[in-house]
Structure 1
């Protein structure tokens, strides 16, 4: 599950380092990993070290062991329950990191800035095997830096016993939620996690629909950290829209709904609408809630809601001891259908590889619904300065929900972001 609220520590760590990166790889969409000619492969120190989170590490082990056997090397897969990204950056600077790291794409900018990962040289045909948005997410500075394997975005999950049809606008959603609450059928209008510190990741779809933005764009269309638009007129107006959903408005948004209780409130049928990602479905199904998935609605007459899209990816460490082995593993093992399907079974999220996704969609229609819900989404900005956004934005969100003046809250947030970036 993705929770976006603690970016300041990451910013401080990321901006403390500096460097650059380079390298190469290839990938195939084959039914099973093809054997490598071990005599032609530089085996580095004879060991391949992979760092991944504790859900993916067990799945990778069998494929890693096969690779090790075929190439006469030792492969170690180390699992991390938390702090994988920051631990990797620190270890990279000390020369004690892995050869491969598995994590989200939005750290690419920080990794590149710190010289922690190598780009991958994929052919056009290889790139075409993946979902276009996934490839866009792992592209930074016109170079491909990761081999994507899973896509994730927020959607609206609704209790179909209470709400048979998907709301078309935020106003429709609020009206239905108020009706259900008045009838005593629910306790909350909407389960969109905020908490006392706010949650920019979950609020962003509504913020974007209302016209808000975080950064301007460069001529190439990338986010421009030199142009912070969070405090601009359009973003202020967006927060004024958000305020209409807070304590002085409809009450649809409340800081009493946070990361610890948003999903449980929905699964206990105290709320008919949940804004969450594919990670929520396990609990929803376990609770026996009849549900459907649709796009998060935007405000009436406004832009479509635009959720952030995250892409889980494999990266080759720039300072690994066995870089050729790492490139071979990522290129010829990780990017094949079998591995992507196995990773999906461990943690069901739409696969980045189209062949794997089509196979999974046939068995699980929810995958297609999440992808459709993210059709208007944008890849999470991968610039290092993005980590300066989370805490100030979250504080502004929470205060506005509680009734604070939107203009004052947004301008304070923008000032804090600009100050953090300029350090």
Structure 2
């Protein structure tokens, strides 16, 4: 989603919010220019994706994930005595997969974001998977929660992302503010151009605003007795969201939140020393490290006297296609992903993403402490992004409402109107 998230999860749902602000998700994926590629990653000349007819197991993924998986998957196949093809799908991976699967010429396995699950189940595109008790015990709970839907496990998780607070230790000594109010005071004392670099944008950014929304008391969907999300219990427009809107409005009036800060400039404001604090994710690490900043990564604080801040967790996962030609191989492969760290470590070395495997996190604790920090924050503070199809109706109205409130619109009427718009869209 915008330059800052392109390297990680392309989550369709967020696209609705951030398309206007530069975004991604619920069906579109990745960064290459062709719709298809052969098993070596070369783009198909006619732009059409064709399942490799010579492979026993075919896996589809976006460019970065395909490149990180190919060698490990090939080695796994050789050990099994089968051939494996990892094909790159450059654009619209989710929708391309659904269409190909329905036609019977799709892959056996597809890699994607966990918030695809609702749509994939609705389209009968994936099969449940079975994780051993040992595998479950070794996966962070946020990863298990993310791939559960309607009481079943529908994917094998392997990496997670969330938002955190980056602190420039050269600009402030308050490296772990306990509250937003403490952060604001420290940021103002720093005397920089901005207090907090958090993407808002004119069109809104509900993904990055989620920690503040939840701390103020807002929620998106209520839960049924079994813990599943209830799309009829909409939190946008409810009392908690109005309280959150009021606090967001206060930050806007104080200039702490600004619509001029977007996904395109938020990281650079921080790396150029124009803000002591940044709300971003692991995709910001490379730029922060390159800038030579003495930094700290910590949890995002909540408002004083209110709830804790809970950003979204996005989980990358392997799905088994419902109409794949080799379902047995597919099931074996995805469960072997978590049997040990052989495959996931090989993938991490080529495309660094915070792991959900506890033993892999332990392996990386010394060599990649920042990635382990993000994995821990995701496990301790984040909520899996809702994977029900109705979530797609929330991003744009909620993000726009928050941006308007930051810009000075009345918090109560603006948030109430957003809730009414979302309810109508869900009902329709």
TM-score between both structures, scaled by the size of structure 2: 0.85
User: Which range is displaced more, 83-92 or 288-297?
Assistant: 83-92
Q: 2:293, 2:95 → 1: CA distance?
A: 37
Distance 1:371 1:57, change over 3 A: closer
Distance 1:292 1:408, change over 3 A: same
Find the counterpart in structure 2 of residue 386 from structure 1.
391
Q: 1:178, 1:11 → 2: CA distance?
A: 35
Does 1:68 pair with 2:77? yes
Find the counterpart in structure 2 of residue 33 from structure 1.
none
* 1:174–1:250 contact (8 Å) kept in structure 2: no
Distance 1:12 1:204, change over 3 A: closer
Distance 1:61 1:334, change over 3 A: farther
Q: 1:99, 1:84 → 2: CA distance?
A: 14
Q: Deviations over 1:299-352 (max 9, x none)?
A: 011111011111111111112122111112112246530211122223322211
In structure 2, which of residues 194, 198, 203 is the aligned counterpart of residue 197 of structure 1? 203
In structure 2, which of residues 131, 145, 149 is the aligned counterpart of residue 140 of structure 1? 149
CA shift at 1:49, angstroms?
Answer: 1.6
Does 1:167 pair with 2:204? no
Does 1:187 pair with 2:197? no
Find the counterpart in structure 2 of residue 245 from structure 1.
251
Find the counterpart in structure 1 of residue 232 from structure 2.
226
CA shift at 1:13, angstroms?
Answer: 8.2
Q: Deviations over 1:68-101 (max 9, x none)?
A: 3344543221223443223222333333321111
Find the counterpart in structure 2 of residue 351 from structure 1.
355
Q: Deviations over 1:226-262 (max 9, x none)?
A: 111211122111111100011xx21111111111111
Distance 1:164 1:90, change over 3 A: farther
Q: Deviations over 1:394-423 (max 9, x none)?
A: 110111111111122112211221122223
What residue ranges of structure 1 are gaps of 5+ in the alignment?
15-43
Give SS of 1:55's match.
helix
Paired residues in the alignment total 388
Note the 1:142-161 alignment, pairs <5 A.
142-161=151-170
* 1:177–1:189 contact (8 Å) kept in structure 2: yes
Find the counterpart in structure 2 of residue 280 from structure 1.
284
Find the counterpart in structure 1 of residue 112 from structure 2.
103
Find the counterpart in structure 1 of residue 45 from structure 2.
none
* 2:27–2:94 contact (8 Å) kept in structure 1: no
* 2:27–2:116 contact (8 Å) kept in structure 1: no
CA shift at 1:104, angstroms?
Answer: 1.2
Note the 1:265-344 alignment, pairs <5 A.
265-333=269-337, 335-344=339-348
Find the counterpart in structure 2 of residue 19 from structure 1.
none
Q: Deviations over 1:256-286 (max 9, x none)?
A: 1111111111111111111011111111001
Q: 2:339, 2:263 → 1: CA distance?
A: 32
Give SS of 1:349's match.
coil
* 1:117–1:317 contact (8 Å) kept in structure 2: yes
Find the counterpart in structure 2 of residue 21 from structure 1.
none
User: Which range is displaced more, 202-211 or 46-55?
Assistant: 46-55
Q: Deviations over 1:119-146 (max 9, x none)?
A: 1122222211211221111111111111
What residue ranges of structure 2 are gaps of 5+ in the alignment?
29-52
Distance 1:333 1:379, change over 3 A: closer
Q: 2:89, 2:173 → 1: CA distance?
A: 41
CA shift at 1:372, angstroms?
Answer: 4.1
* 2:26–2:116 contact (8 Å) kept in structure 1: no
TM-score between both structures, scaled by the size of structure 1: 0.86
Find the counterpart in structure 2 of residue 7 from structure 1.
16
Give SS of 1:103's match.
strand
Find the counterpart in structure 1 of residue 262 from structure 2.
258
Find the counterpart in structure 2 of residue 87 from structure 1.
96
Q: 2:78, 2:308 → 1: CA distance?
A: 50
